[in-house]
Amino acid sequence: MPTEREDRLIETLFARHSADGDDVLIGPGDDAALLRCPPGEQLLITIDTLNEGMHFPAGTPAHSVGYRALAVSLSDLAAMAARPLWAVVTLSVPVADEDWLGGFADGLYALADEHGLRVVGGDFVRGPLSITVTAHGFAREDAVLRRGGAGAGDGIWVSGFLGDAAAGLEVLKQNLARNVSSPRDHRDSSEERLVRRFCYPQPRIELGRRLSGIATACMDLSDGLLMDLPRLLRMSGLQGRVETESLPISGALRDYAGPDDSRRLALAGGDDYELCFAVPEEEEARLEALPDELQFTRIGNLYEGEGLVLTRDGQPWEPPDSGFRHFS
Amino acid sequence: MPTEREDRLIETLFARHSADGDDVLIGPGDDAALLRCPPGEQLLITIDTLNEGMHFPAGTPAHSVGYRALAVSLSDLAAMAARPLWAVVTLSVPVADEDWLGGFADGLYALADEHGLRVVGGDFVRGPLSITVTAHGFAREDAVLRRGGAGAGDGIWVSGFLGDAAAGLEVLKQNLARNVSSPRDHRDSSEERLVRRFCYPQPRIELGRRLSGIATACMDLSDGLLMDLPRLLRMSGLQGRVETESLPISGALRDYAGPDDSRRLALAGGDDYELCFAVPEEEEARLEALPDELQFTRIGNLYEGEGLVLTRDGQPWEPPDSGFRHFS
C-alpha cells in the first residue's frame, strides 16, 4: 500500500520510458500497459526473480542489482533468438531509500537503453529485497531457437568464457565482508574483471539472433554448465560429451583460481549468462563466418543416448567434488 | 539453483497448461514462452508481487495464496476492459513443501481455468515467501478503459461491496492467531463470508468488458477507495465528491463491524478488487441495462477542480482516524 510519496517515487523509477504512441500506447501509471505487437512476429515472454542473499549478496551495489535483474531475463530472450522490446518490473524493498532506488533505476535503464528495450510498467512493494522482471521480445516463429532440436553429431558450443561470474561472486563477497568499495571504483585487476562479470552480465542478444538458422538448439547458462547442459540434452533426447580441456577459461580466471579451480568453476559455476548451443557440421562454416566479437568455442559433441559425459585427455573424467554424479 | 528434483517440481507446478499449438506455441520448460498474438487487438501487460506478511498473513492457506496472486493481476486487466489470455508466475519459497506447492498450484489454476487463461511459464526460487504474476490480456485499442478520461458531471460508481476484504483479513488474522482451521472448512457465518472475500477476490473481468463504451474512466480498488480514487481523479484532472451514505456495504460487514466501522472499512480498507468507474449521465441507461449479477452502485459525482471530498448528510465530512487528510 504505497503512500502518495511512494506513488511519486514509482513514477520516477518506472516511468523514465513514457508512452510513445508508436508501440507503447499506454506506459507506466495506469492499471496495465497497452502495447501494439509487431505484425508477422510471435511474442516471447520470460520471467525471473532475484532475491537478495540468494541470487546476489547483501550489499551488492544498487546499480548492479538493477542491471543484472534485467540482464537475466534478456539472456533468456537471447537464447531463443528474440529481439527484446518491453519489460515490466516489480521491486520489493524493506525501506524506500531514494539513493538506492536511483542507483537501481540507473542500472536497469542503462541495460534497457543498450538494447532499445522500454520499461512499460512496474510495481513497488515493501518486503525483503527482491526484483522480478518479465521481459517481452519478438521473433518469427521459424527463427526461434529451442532447447530441443539438436541432432546426434552436432557440436556443442558456448559463447564467451565460463566460470568468471562464479569467481567474481566469490571476490565480491570477500570485498563486501572487508567493506571494500563498490566494484566500479576498483583498479582494473583480474579480480575486478571477474567481479564485473558477475555484476554486469552481458545478454548475448546479437549472437542469439545470428545463430538462428545455424544452431539446432540453444539455451543460456544461468546455473552453470553441469546443471544447464543436461536440460538441453533431455529436451533434445541426446548424450553430450564435453572435453574439459576445451572449456573457454579467461586469463582473469586462470590468474585468480589456477588451472584446476578454473576448470571446476567453468563447469559448476553459475551466473555467466553465456549461450550454449548445438551446431551441425554442415553449418560450421556459417558459424565461423560470424563477426569476431561474437566469441564462441566448441567444447564437445552430441551423440545418441542420454546424460552428460565429461572427458579429460580423451578419457571419461569426473570432477572431484562438484556433486556432478547428481546431475548426470 | 534448482536441483533436478526441483526441476521436476517446477514442471509439475507450472506446466499444467502445456503448449497447444494454437496460441501457445512453446509453453513452460524452455527459456521463454512463444505465443501467437490475436490479430486486430492490442496487448495489455500488468505485474504484481505479493509478499507474505505484507499482502497476506503468514499461514494463509496455500490455495488462497495461489488464487489471490493471479486475481490481483487479473483485476488490473478487468479495469482496462481486457480479455485475459496468458500469465507467467514466479514463486519464491523458503522450503519446497510439495503439499503446500500443490495447494498453491490448485488455487492458481482454479482461477486461470475460470477465465480461460493459460499459465505459459514460471520460475521457482528459494527465498522468503513471495509470488509475482505477470498477466497478459488483449483488447481493441479503442475499447480500453483508462484512469484518465472522465468528465465533470460524470457519476462515480463502484462494483460489489466495499470493505469486506479488509474485515475478512482482520478475521483471518484472528483465526490464524487462535489456530482456527482454514477458511474453507468453516460454517457459512458472516465472518466466514468476509474471510472468503479476502482469500478469493473476484476479478471483475465481465463487468470491465461490458463497461467499455459506457464508462469514461476505470480502475480497480486494491489499496482502498481513499488511496485509489485520488489516482483516477489526478489522471482525469477532476474533483470527486463521495456521499458516504451511498457506499455499498454488505450485510456481512454490517453484522461484523457495525455502521461506523463498516463505513471506515469501506473507505479505507484495501484488497476488495472491485472496479471504480465514471459514467456520464447519457450512458446511465445503458449501464442500468447490464445484467443484474454485475452489481454496481453510484457513490458520488465528478466536478471541475481537484482532490477528493467526502460528504455525510450533504455536508463535507472527514473520517475521524483514517489518515484521510494525507491522501486528499
Q: What is the pLDDT of residues A67-118, one digit of tens each?
A: 999 999 999 999 999 999 999 999 999 988 889 999 999 999 999 999 999 9
Q: Do B127 and A54 touch (CB under 8 A)?
A: yes
Distances (CA, A) of B178 to B54, B57, B64, B200, B267: 20, 13, 19, 21, 28
Q: How many CB pairs under 8 A join A and B?
A: 208
Query: Does residue B167 sit in the same domain as residue B294?
Result: yes
Whole-number pLDDT of residue A318: 87
pLDDT at A217 exceeding the cut of 90: yes
pLDDT at A236 exceeding the cut of 50: yes
Query: Does residue B86 sit in the same domain as residue B114?
Result: yes
Q: Which of B1, B35, B47 is closest, CB to CB, to A134?
A: B47
Does residue A71 belong to any structural domain of this protein? yes
Distances (CA, A) of B284 to A33, A328, B278, B280, B295: 28, 66, 10, 7, 14
Whole-number pLDDT of residue A214: 98
Query: Does residue B166 sit in the same domain as residue B294?
Result: yes
Does residue B243 belong to any structural domain of this protein? yes
Segments forming the whole domain that contains residue A85: 4-143
Whole-number pLDDT of residue A5: 67
What does the alpha-carbon distance between residue B11 and residue B122 come to, in Å, rounded to a whole number? 9
What residues in B contact A39, CB-CB < 8 Å? 39
pLDDT at B324 exceeding the cut of 90: no
pLDDT at A324 exceeding the cut of 50: no
- The rounded mean pLDDT for chain B is 92
Does residue B29 belong to any structural domain of this protein? yes
**Minimum CA–CA partner of A218 in chain B:** B31
What residues in A contact B32, CB-CB < 8 Å? 44-46, 76-77, 79-80, 82, 137
Domain boundary among A143, A169, A197: A143
What residues in B contact A125, CB-CB < 8 Å? 49-51, 54-55
| Band (B323; pLDDT cuts 50, 70, 90) | very low
Q: What is the mean pLDDT of residues A206-215?
A: 98
Whole-number pLDDT of residue A182: 53
Rg of chain B over Cα atoms, rounded to whole angstroms, equals 20
- The rounded mean pLDDT for chain A is 92
Q: What is the mean pLDDT of residues A136-160?
A: 97
Domain boundary among A115, A143, A171: A143
| Band (B209; pLDDT cuts 50, 70, 90) | very high
Whole-number pLDDT of residue B182: 53
Query: Does residue A237 sit in the same domain as residue A178?
Result: yes
What residues in A contact B79, CB-CB < 8 Å? 31-32
Query: Does residue A112 sit in the same domain as residue A11?
Result: yes
pLDDT at A264 exceeding the cut of 80: yes
pLDDT at A325 exceeding the cut of 60: no
Yes or no: say if B268 and B230 are a contact pair by the CB < 8 Å rule. Answer: no
What does the alpha-carbon distance between residue B277 and residue A44 come to, in Å, rounded to a whole number? 33
Q: What is the tens place of the pLDDT at every residue in B124-175?
A: 899 999 999 999 999 999 999 999 999 999 999 999 999 999 999 999 999 9
| Band (A169; pLDDT cuts 50, 70, 90) | very high
pLDDT at B40 exceeding the cut of 60: yes
What does the alpha-carbon distance between residue A315 and residue A286 come to, in Å, rounded to a whole number? 31
Question: Mind telling me how many Å the CA of B308 is from chain A's nearest CA?
Answer: 14
* CATH code of A41's domain: 3.30.1330.10
Strand partners, B217: B278
Whole-number pLDDT of residue B63: 97
Give helix A164-177 / helix A190-199 axis angle, nearest 10°: 100
Q: Do B270 and A1 touch (CB under 8 A)?
A: yes
Among A96-100, A216-220, A277-281, B245-249, name the one with the lowest average pLDDT: A96-100
Q: What is the mean pLDDT of residues A25-43?
A: 95
Q: What is the mean pLDDT of residues B211-229?
A: 97
Does residue A148 belong to any structural domain of this protein? no
pLDDT at B322 exceeding the cut of 90: no
Query: Does residue B187 sit in the same domain as residue B113?
Result: no
Whole-number pLDDT of residue B6: 66
pLDDT at B21 exceeding the cut of 80: no
**Minimum CA–CA partner of B125 in chain A:** A49
pLDDT at A154 exceeding the cut of 80: yes
Query: Does residue B179 sit in the same domain as residue B104?
Result: no
Question: By percentage, how much of chain B surpasses pLDDT 90?
Answer: 83
Does residue A48 belong to any structural domain of this protein? yes
Question: Mind telling me how many Å the CA of B116 is from chain A's nearest CA?
Answer: 19
Q: Do B144 and A26 touch (CB under 8 A)?
A: yes
Whole-number pLDDT of residue A328: 30
pLDDT at B242 exceeding the cut of 90: yes
Q: What is the mean pLDDT of residues B25-50?
A: 95
Domain boundary among A123, A143, A163: A143
Strand partners, A156: A278, A300
Does residue A118 belong to any structural domain of this protein? yes
What residues in B contact A231, CB-CB < 8 Å? 7
Q: Do B51 and A120 touch (CB under 8 A)?
A: no
Query: Does residue B134 sit in the same domain as residue B159?
Result: no
Domain count, chain A: 2
Q: Do B134 and A45 touch (CB under 8 A)?
A: yes
Question: By percentage, how much of chain A surpasses pLDDT 70?
Answer: 92
Q: Which of B43, B49, B136 is closest, CB to CB, to A125?
A: B49
Does residue B150 belong to any structural domain of this protein? no
Whole-number pLDDT of residue B326: 36
Mutate to test the interface with A, among B1, B24, B45 (most CBs of A within 10 A): B45
| ipTM of predicted complex | 0.93
**Residue of A131, A160, A141, A128 whose CA lies nearest to A225:** A160
pLDDT at A48 exceeding the cut of 60: yes
Q: Do B45 and A227 touch (CB under 8 A)?
A: no
**Minimum CA–CA partner of A56 in chain B:** B127
Q: Do A125 and B3 touch (CB under 8 A)?
A: no
Q: What is the tens place of the pLDDT at every residue in B57-75?
A: 999 999 999 999 999 999 9
| Band (B1; pLDDT cuts 50, 70, 90) | very low
Q: Which residues contact B258 (CB under 8 A, 6 or more apart)?
A: none
Whole-number pLDDT of residue B140: 97
Query: Does residue A188 sit in the same domain as residue A79?
Result: no
* CATH code of B202's domain: 3.90.650.10
Yes or no: say if A97 and A64 are a contact pair by the CB < 8 Å rule. Answer: no
Does residue B148 belong to any structural domain of this protein? no
The edge-to-edge listing of strands for the beta sheet with A118-126 is A118-126, A83-93, A130-139, A42-51, B33-35, B24-26
| Band (B181; pLDDT cuts 50, 70, 90) | low
Query: Does residue B183 sit in the same domain as residue B85?
Result: no
Q: Which of B37, B45, B132 is closest, CB to CB, to A90?
A: B132
| Band (A322; pLDDT cuts 50, 70, 90) | low
Query: Does residue A109 sit in the same domain as residue A175?
Result: no
| Band (A159; pLDDT cuts 50, 70, 90) | very high
Query: Does residue B264 sit in the same domain as residue B132?
Result: no
Query: Is residue A256 within a helix (H) or strand (E), and if so which, with residue range?
Result: helix A251-268
Whole-number pLDDT of residue A15: 78
- Please list, residue by residue across B286-322, b when 16 or more beta carbons sit within 10 angstroms of its beta carbon and e when fewer do: ebeeeeeebebbebbbbeeeeebebeeeeeeeebeeb
Among A118-127, B66-75, B200-209, B246-255, name the one with the lowest average pLDDT: A118-127
Whole-number pLDDT of residue A184: 52
What residues in A contact B230, CB-CB < 8 Å? 4
DSSP code per residue over B255-297 = HHHHHHHHHHHHHH------EEEEE-GGGHHHHHTS-TTS-EE
Mutate to test the interface with A, among B7, B134, B144 (most CBs of A within 10 A): B134
